[in-house]
Amino acid sequence: MPQAEQTGRRGVKFIEVEERPGEEYDYLHFRIPVPREIMPPETQEHMRAATREVLLAFRSLIDEAIKRTEPRPARRTKGAAEEKPG
């Protein structure tokens, strides 16, 4: 997959474009290095919360994928007579 990128000082990639030939979308990745000592506690909490939300989103996708692998109950056809134990 061809990629275009913009690097800053020290060779850190800030912007990366992941080109996907033949697909509808390309991917744009941003990497913004921030020294931990200058990141306010409120920002750190937002980042933790955002990470948790992303993980929950992936969990819901995985749960749905698992449901789709489970066998489905057979459908009953209309007018089919049910036998009652007698």
Q: Are residues 28 and 56 in the same domain?
A: no
Closest CA to 5 of 20, 27, 13, 26: 13
Please give the DSSP secondary-structure letter assigned to residue 13.
E
Helix (H, G, I), strand (E, B) or coil at 4: strand
Q: pLDDT grade, residue 1 (50/70/90)?
A: very low
**45 lies in some domain:** yes
Cα 6 to Cα 10, 17, 21, 72: the distances in Å are 12, 9, 20, 49
Q: Token pair for residue 48?
A: 């933790």
The verdict on residue 76 lying in a domain is no
Candidates 18, 20, 42; CA nearest to 31 is 18
pLDDT (tens digit per residue) in 54-85? 999 999 999 999 999 998 888 877 766 555 66
The parent domain of residue 50 ranges over 34-69
Please tell me the pTM assigned to this model: 0.48
Tens digit of each residue's pLDDT (9 = 90 or more) over 4-59: 555 555 666 678 888 999 999 888 888 888 888 888 999 989 989 999 999 999 99
